[in-house]
Amino acid sequence: MTAVPATGSRDTAAARVPVRGLTVLYDADCGLCAFLRDWLVRQPQLVPLELLPAASAEARRRYPGLDHRATLDEVTVVADSGQVYRSTAAWIVVLWALRAQRPLAYRLATPAGAPFARGAVLAAARWRESRRRGPRSDGRTYRQPDGWTYHPDIGWTFAPPACVGDACATR
């Protein structure tokens, strides 16, 4: 899991900062997200979780450096020391915060477990998209910033993000 500070730049020292609390930004208009929010607050936590609606006035006030539109499309978790986790890494860090799920988080963070974590995130995205119609969707496809796209007729496809200058995005 790579931490990205709220400013958007990578911080290699972030891995050495202890995490004492996590804020989970979730889509309050999503039934699955609301269900998971309710489940999370009932779980014994090793690291306290605060659940905050994504793109809300409070989220914008606390985290002005985040792309708040993107937080509606993929789960985003902000640590109390500034690390930002998105998508699969966000799910894993949330599981890591839960007493009963920490062993699972460690397994999902390995190269062998990563495909399962990614599959769970993509399955949740597909389910959400099948129930959502509005400005974030064209009603037929679901696009993720990392290059994955879900087409109802053919399933998931991957087109890597374009390179900018000498740098190419990786997952």
Q: What is the pLDDT of residues 2-34, one digit of tens each?
A: 454 444 444 444 556 688 999 999 988 888 888
Maximum average pLDDT range among 6-20, 71-85, 125-139? 71-85
pLDDT above 80 for 35: yes
Claim: this prediction has a pTM higher than 0.75: no
From CA 54, how far away is CA 63, in angstroms rounded?
A: 10
SS3 at position 88: helix
The C-alpha atoms of residue 119 and residue 106 are separated, in whole angstroms, by 16
Report residue 107 CA to chain centroid gap: 18
> Which residue spans within the chain are E strands per DSSP?
22-26, 49-53, 76-79, 84-86, 142-143, 148-151, 155-158
pLDDT given for residue 154 in this prediction: 65
